[in-house]
Amino acid sequence: MNGPNIEKILITGDEIQERVRQLAQQISYDYEGKVPILINVLKGGVLFLSDLMRELRVLHEIDFMSVSSYNDGTDTSGVVRILADLSINIEGKDVLIVEDIVDTGLTLDYIRHMLLARHPKSLRIVTLLDKKERRRVDVPLDYVGFTIPDAFVIGYGLDYRQKYRNLPYVAIMRPDE
């Protein structure tokens, strides 16, 4: 198997697991007595969701949406496509969107408005990675794992041309890859 062309490991697997535990602790505290619906944005967010939910100490449900804005490369197309919608009604529910990364913010801004139109009781966002410098639309983030620099990253769910999602760490990819 050809390995990825990695410039450096930005966040180790241990650092991710520790931060996920801390986020889960905070979320469990904030949602005590509630049963939030965790909405996972496929495909990148799937590793983060599965680790996060195992650490949560509140009852919760999960559901999935599939969207895509990065066609096949390292830059956003700017057009968000809904590939698959939720399977449950979120009206009157406490909703927590679980994302792997917020980059330009275009994806999340689109999803957030779409979900708000369905009248959830509350809507919050947790993202593992926040690439702040690249933001084009302001999106309110309630829980952030790590703020990262403006570099293309792979691993822990994040892909380059659909590959490398399985890496247990987050790494910066060499630009010439």
Closest distance of CB 92 from ligand PRP, Å: 26
Q: How far is the CB of 101 from ligand PRP (least distance, A)?
A: 5
Nearer to ligand PRP, 31 or 164 (CB): 164
Give the nearest distance from C-beta 141 to ligand PRP in angstroms: 11
Residue in the shown chain whose Cβ atom is closest to ligand 7HP: 103
DSSP secondary structure letter of residue 24: H
**Which does residue 153 bind out of ligand PRP, ligand 7HP, none, counting CB within 5 to 8 angstroms by kind?**
ligand 7HP
Phi and psi at 60, nearest 5°, equal -155, 165
Q: Residue 15 or 55: which CB sits closer to ligand 7HP?
A: 15
The residues binding ligand PRP (CB under 6 A) are 41-44, 68-70, 76, 99-108, 159
User: What is the SS3 assignment for 129?
Assistant: strand
Query: Closer to ligand 7HP at the Cβ: 91 or 176?
Result: 176
**Whether residue 150 lies in the annotated active site:** no
Q: Cβ of 160: how many Cβ atoms within 10 Å?
A: 19
Instruction: Report the side by side order of strands in the sheet with 143-147.
Output: 81-84, 61-68, 37-42, 94-102, 122-130, 143-147
3-state helix, strand, coil in the chain (%, to 5): 25, 30, 45
Among ligand 7HP, ligand PRP, none, partner that 146 touches (CB below 5 to 8 angstroms by kind): none
Question: Interface with ligand 7HP by CB under 6 A: which residues?
Answer: 70, 101, 103, 152-153, 158-159
Identify whether the C-beta of residue 24 lies closer than 8 Å to the C-beta of residue 55.
Answer: yes
Catalogue the long-range contacts made by 69-74 (C-beta closer than 8 Å, 24 or more residues apart).
69/106, 69/107, 72/161, 73/161, 74/152, 74/160, 74/173
Q: Which is nearer to ligand 7HP, 31 or 110 (CB)?
A: 110
Q: Which residues are catalytic?
A: 103
